[in-house]
Structure 1
Amino acid sequence: MKPYLTNALIGNSKLLAALNKEGDIVRLWWPQITYPQHIDKSFGGIFIDGQTENTVWFNDDELLSEQKYIDDTNILLTRTESKKYKFTSELIDFAVPDGDTIVRKYRIYNMDNKDKHFKFIYYSSFQSHDTKLFSSANFDFTNDCIVHFKHRYAFAIGSDVEISQFTTSKAFQDACDGNLDGVEVSLSNNGCIIFDLGLINSGDFKDISIFISAGDGYDRAIEELNRIRKIDYMQLFNLTKEHWKSHLENGKKINLENKRIEEIYKRSLLVFKLLTDDTYGSIAAAPEVDEKFEKCGGYGYCWGRDAAFIVTAFDKSGYTDMSKKFYRWAKEAQLKNGSWEQRYHMDGSLAPVWGLQIDETGAIIWGMYEHYDATKDIEFIQEMWPAIEKGADFLIEFIDKETGLPRPSMDLWEERKGEHIYSAASVYGGLLAAAKSALALNKDKHYEIYLKAAEALKKSILEIGWKEENKSFLRIIKREIDKETFDKLKNENKKVSVETGVKGYRKYYQFEDDIMDISLLGISEPFNVIDAFDDKMKSTAKKVEEALWVKEVGGLKRYEDDNYIGGNPWILTTLWLAMYKIRLEQYDDAVRLLEWATEHSTDLGLLPEQVDKITGEPAWIIPLTWSHAMYVLTVLKLIEKGKLQ
């Protein structure tokens, strides 16, 4: 079974690979950064003549391993040590920029006081489209490599050292005893190659590079492998190192006393590039870890909700070109009716969905204007105007004439359908952004229409959304429920209703859901329906913080009765409060919340979605792009205010 927790990522914005802490490649996506996924597992090992009875795999539990990224790059170093067999492996992993190859350079040290004869063994199991079916593997004698292929996808695995043994059938079983039976071709998804490293003197080492080259078909994969083989390893390494250094140079640089905060800020900028598809400009929420949707609905897609925050972080940190490319992608992905669906594949095709989230349409329009406001690029807003106009018109049409709020849709957590205050705030942000865009383009009629709609929506949020006896805003005004819940609430004399919908199906609603939810901060941060200092906003935020703070480990969960993956605190929710605290000029509180997020990053500086409420360890999705975006936004806002030195 594949691990749910990702330890590290490497990639080049077309190809993305996830690795565990031992350095195994456990997932590989190409030619989009989230689709398809091709790898079952891929890892190396050592056989020492006269000492080991079986291959010692680098993922063996008895071995010690540690990882780090090299010098502010997405180049990964994994060190593995065997005290029993007295050898050390240093593995450097990276994806070549402007190519379709992963380079895995191993350095094997003989730490014993005597010379030894080493064999290096490399095993791979492929499962394109997450299935082992319909796969083939072939040993190519002409090009000295194994090629795994299925349909149009092919992966050639070769080296800068000559292969001495191979097999394409029952590979792992044979590999464990250090000898392969030479099966040339098979209907198999696995294969193994062995290299005779010869004698390694005591205290000395030998190097070997493994190349995993992808191609659109068998011949293309071979061509890519041979292209890479012709380039010196250090040239490939330095090219990749400069690629990532250049990316950081193009961003906003910071210099802080707290070097860990600075380190995670830079790691966030590197994550942004890894998880943005270079071909299309779309942004992955996270690398997928739940392919079978056993615990959730998946993460390897692009959401407008996440992207609105992420792209704002792009703009603030200096990557305005990445922002523009994303919005061009969004313009093409927009539906004919003017809305954006819940989520998309990187190429803009519709991903699996379970309901419209109206907040996404509002957030994307809001983000388009935020990009214009950051860049003053009038040509951009002109280019985006057709999408803004269609989107704003859809938002107006979507308003419930009875409540004055957007009609029932899924909430931002994708768990319940209703008329949500956060969604209303996002739609307000989108309508106001449309009005401002119209004003910038001298479209006076559109300006008046969208401004009027935004003001009417704001009035409804303040009148219907506020509950005086609670001294807080409601989470949901009108929530869709099942018949059983409806009957229960009706018997308790709660306010409920029944409506007959399309084709005569009945829908049941509950009114006034007053659960505290972090998304209520969206009324002020970022959509600015009301000022952060407004008494109603301050009262709501205070109740949100009190209700959601997790006393055992700190941080805030999403909402009071959250039970997703155990109901843990999240990085992004905690930093959402930090951003609101900055608006309130409560800078010490904001810094403490930022420090909490910093303390709960991984050793490699990656930010998870959640933090385990008992152990305090990073939990579930690693990394979550939205978490990194909130981190960057918080850091830069505190620096702007002079509160982070």
Structure 2
Amino acid sequence: MAAEPQVPHAAPGTRRAALEVILRHQHPGGAYPACPTFEVYGYSWFRDGAFIAEGADRAGAEDSARAFHQWCARVLTSRAGRIENIVATLRSGGTPASGEWLPARYTLEGDDEGDTGWWNFQLDGYGTWLHLLVAHLRRRSADPAPYREAARLACDYLAASWNTPCFDWWEEDSHRRHGATLASIEAGLRAAADAGLVQGDTAARAVAAADEVAATVRREGVRNGHLTKWMDGTGAVDAGLLSALTPFGLVDDDLAAGTLAAVERDLLHEGGVHRYLEDTFYGGGRWPVLSALLGWHYARTGRPGDARRLLHWIDGQFTDGGLLPEQAPEGRRLAPEREAEWVDRWGPNATPLLWSHGMYLILADELGELDSAPA
């Protein structure tokens, strides 16, 4: 990683304030809105929310994290019949209709959002939730009993559906299978089984499916020594693939090193990380979420100085009001000529993005740089 200008530490209390933004906007039922001020992000995603809860939990807000995980469990158990019908259809060789799949996001009350015309079939969130739920239960030595039924439903759903093309982390490319999605599914299934959160036939199916996912990624999702964005033989990389390294741990050291090198080469610029080279969303800027994800991996693999530089880059993205955006408001754009069309369509860059806040807290915790925070 090239040397970068030193960015001062955030002012005392900034990391506590980052947590307070999350707590302030959490719904009484436990859901986290992706962005409370950005109309089309007024929903709760399992993926975003699981990372937000992880950050809050690490920063001392155990009750907030527990409330989110309980919300997820209610969402799933209230759809038990629907999930079991999907699983039965898949096991019999059929394909559920497009409207039958579980959505990626829900209203803050836990309802389906209705027909908005916006893409909504993704699988990654359920795997991410299982993986980070297990992390929460272990961290807090918490009783897994309230989550067992929801975990069973999630594992059966993922074990039956994992090879189905769906939208990726970015709500794009619905006709493909994605490396980052498969990494989250493998990690969630394996974590639930290894922790004893699911047992018996469900655990056996979860482990078998996790093994199949890992084998598929190695067979179809690797090129030139690195993971690829899609399972289609092309060599494109996506920064979401960093999750396959940390926290999901899908790949061995050599493949992890090759993937890291490809992301650093193509997508890292002065502390900020782009999603992928062809990105045009809001001009294709750099994402604090992804800088924190990269820093998390650095911190876990003996590169604390590099991780700290990324944390300090994120420090520099806070607004004067202490909010983190979805994309860095200044600096490099991959497609600057495309920024205005998104501003015209949806307004300014989503701020605060609670996922950015959650990932920031995770990285700060990995580096031992969290301030004291409310318990």
TM-score range relative to shorter protein: 0.7 to 0.9
State the match for 1:71 in structure 2: none
State the match for 2:136 in structure 1: 371
State the match for 2:10 in structure 1: 260
1:511-554: per-residue Cα shift (whole Å, max 9, x none)?
A: 324222101111111111135xx011111111111101236xx5
1:275 & 1:523 partners in 2: Cα distance?
Answer: 29
Note the C-alpha offset of 1:455. 2.1
* TM-aligned CA distance change 1:274 to 1:640, over 3 Å: closer
State the match for 1:359 in structure 2: 124
Query: Is 1:412 matched up with 2:169?
Result: yes
Note the C-alpha offset of 1:587. 0.8
- Unpaired runs of 5+ residues, structure 1, are 1-257, 292-297, 400-405, 478-510
* TM-aligned CA distance change 1:452 to 1:262, over 3 Å: farther
Amino acid paired to 1:519? G
1:343 & 1:440 partners in 2: Cα distance?
Answer: 24
Query: Would you say how many aligned residue pairs link Structure 1 and Structure 2?
Result: 325
What's the TM-score, normalizing by structure 2? 0.81
1:419–1:476 Cα contact (<8 Å) kept: yes
State the match for 1:627 in structure 2: 356
2:180–2:229 Cα contact (<8 Å) kept: yes
State the match for 1:476 in structure 2: 230
Give 1:425's match in structure 2, choosing from 143, 164, 183: 183
2:102 & 2:363 partners in 1: Cα distance?
Answer: 27
2:228–2:238 Cα contact (<8 Å) kept: no
Q: Say which one has the larger Rg.
A: 1
1:362–1:431 Cα contact (<8 Å) kept: yes
Note the C-alpha offset of 1:622. 1.3
State the match for 2:74 in structure 1: 332
1:475–1:512 Cα contact (<8 Å) kept: no
State the match for 2:216 in structure 1: 460
State the match for 1:341 in structure 2: 103
Amino acid paired to 2:310? L
* TM-aligned CA distance change 1:522 to 1:259, over 3 Å: closer
1:313–1:630 Cα contact (<8 Å) kept: yes
1:333–1:340 Cα contact (<8 Å) kept: no
Query: Is 1:323 matched up with 2:72?
Result: no
1:342 & 1:446 partners in 2: Cα distance?
Answer: 22
1:262 & 1:623 partners in 2: Cα distance?
Answer: 20
1:567-587: per-residue Cα shift (whole Å, max 9, x none)?
A: 111111111111111122111
SS at match of 1:419: coil
Q: Following superposition, which runs of at least 4 residues in structure 1 exceed 6 angstroms of deviation?
A: none
Note the C-alpha offset of 1:453. 2.1
Query: Is 1:350 matched up with 2:108?
Result: no
Note the C-alpha offset of 1:565. 0.5
Structure of higher RCO (CA pairs closer than 8 Å, 6+ residues apart): 2
Give 1:314's match in structure 2, choosing from 52, 56, 61: 56
2:318–2:324 Cα contact (<8 Å) kept: yes
* TM-aligned CA distance change 1:512 to 1:325, over 3 Å: same
1:570 & 1:435 partners in 2: Cα distance?
Answer: 33
Query: Is 1:286 matched up with 2:35?
Result: yes
1:369–1:436 Cα contact (<8 Å) kept: no
Larger strand percent: 1
1:513 & 1:623 partners in 2: Cα distance?
Answer: 34
Note the C-alpha offset of 1:316. 1.1
SS at match of 1:514: coil
State the match for 1:394 in structure 2: 157
Note the C-alpha offset of 1:614. 3.8
Larger helix percent: 2
State the match for 1:274 in structure 2: 24
* TM-aligned CA distance change 1:471 to 1:584, over 3 Å: same
What's the TM-score, normalizing by structure 1? 0.48
Identical-pair percentage? 29
1:410 & 1:637 partners in 2: Cα distance?
Answer: 30
1:496-524: per-residue Cα shift (whole Å, max 9, x none)?
A: xxxxxxxxxxxxxxx32422210111111
* TM-aligned CA distance change 1:261 to 1:374, over 3 Å: farther
